[in-house]
């Protein structure tokens, strides 16, 4: 087709058929422009498909990350609540005896990890696919959220170090049992702990660690859920339509 057009244009030049020259030139030019537009349309369509696929993956992964963070926050909240109750009743042996069997009594030295969440936020950057998000505002928000996750991961790692350092002072006041059904159980001897100044200091440090990491996770959870909703609305997800 192109060779035919060029031959016609050459013949028109020989014959000095200026009208034919103009027509053939316009036809060739329009053909080139049309081909360029089709190619641009195809590329734009592919970019849109790539962006949607990437956002859809983020939307799904942010949902799972949020679930994991909620479980971790529940772990922090149990420990924080029990420590507040125990310290408020530190002179009431009977009340401390009741608190000794509550869930979380022996968990202060354990900092629950969020491996899926950590992996998700790391992969967003390391995958090199962030540029698929064409909206610069959304792309910046996703990058900022990933940065906050990295900062929280460092804070959690520091908190785990605190727990490991302080746990030996507290663990000596744990009492482990095997119940009749075969399950193991742990009781915190709060009354004994409050007579041990080093253990009291260690318990306070671990309590504070759970406060700091727990608050960081609450903040990150709130931003992750907001980001997931924003992405869901851009993708037309059913939950976005219901919430609006």
Residue 91 CA to its chain's centroid (Å): 43
**How far, in Å, are 117, 152, 184, 241 from residue 217 at the CA level?**
11, 7, 30, 27
Scored b (16 or more CB within 10 A) or e, 188-201 reads bbbbebbebeebbe
Count the residues in the chain.
244
pLDDT in 10s for each residue of the chain, 244 residues: 556 655 665 665 555 555 655 666 676 677 777 767 776 676 677 788 888 999 999 999 999 999 999 999 999 999 999 999 999 999 999 999 999 988 788 999 888 899 999 999 988 888 888 888 889 999 999 999 999 999 999 999 999 998 999 999 999 999 998 888 888 888 999 999 999 999 999 999 999 999 999 999 999 999 999 999 999 998 988 877 665 5
């Amino acid at each position: 087709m192109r060779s035919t057009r060029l031959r016609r244009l050459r013949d028109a030049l020989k014959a000095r058929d200026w009208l034919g020259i103009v027509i053939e030139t316009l036809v060739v030019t329009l053909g080139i422009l049309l081909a360029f537009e089709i190619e641009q349309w195809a590329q734009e369509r592919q970019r849109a498909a790539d962006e949607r696929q990437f956002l859809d993956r983020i939307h799904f992964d942010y949902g799972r990350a949020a679930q994991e963070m909620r479980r971790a926050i529940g772990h922090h909240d149990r420990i924080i609540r029990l420590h507040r109750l125990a310290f408020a009743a530190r002179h009431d042996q009977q009340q401390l005896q009741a608190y000794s069997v509550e869930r979380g009594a022996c968990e202060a030295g354990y900092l629950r990890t969020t491996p899926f969440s950590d992996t998700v936020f790391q992969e967003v950057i390391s995958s090199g696919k962030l540029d698929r998000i064409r909206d610069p505002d959304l792309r910046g928000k996703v990058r900022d959220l990933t940065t906050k996750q990295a900062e929280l991961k460092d804070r959690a790692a520091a908190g785990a170090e605190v727990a490991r350092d302080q746990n030996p002072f507290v663990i000596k006041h744990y009492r482990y049992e095997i119940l009749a059904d075969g399950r193991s159980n742990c009781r915190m001897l709060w009354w004994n702990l409050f007579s041990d100044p080093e253990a009291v200091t260690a318990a306070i440090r671990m309590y504070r660690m759970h406060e700091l990491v727990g608050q960081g996770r609450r903040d990150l959870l709130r931003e992750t859920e907001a980001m997931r909703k924003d992405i869901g609305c851009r993708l037309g997800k059913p939950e976005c339509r219901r919430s609006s």
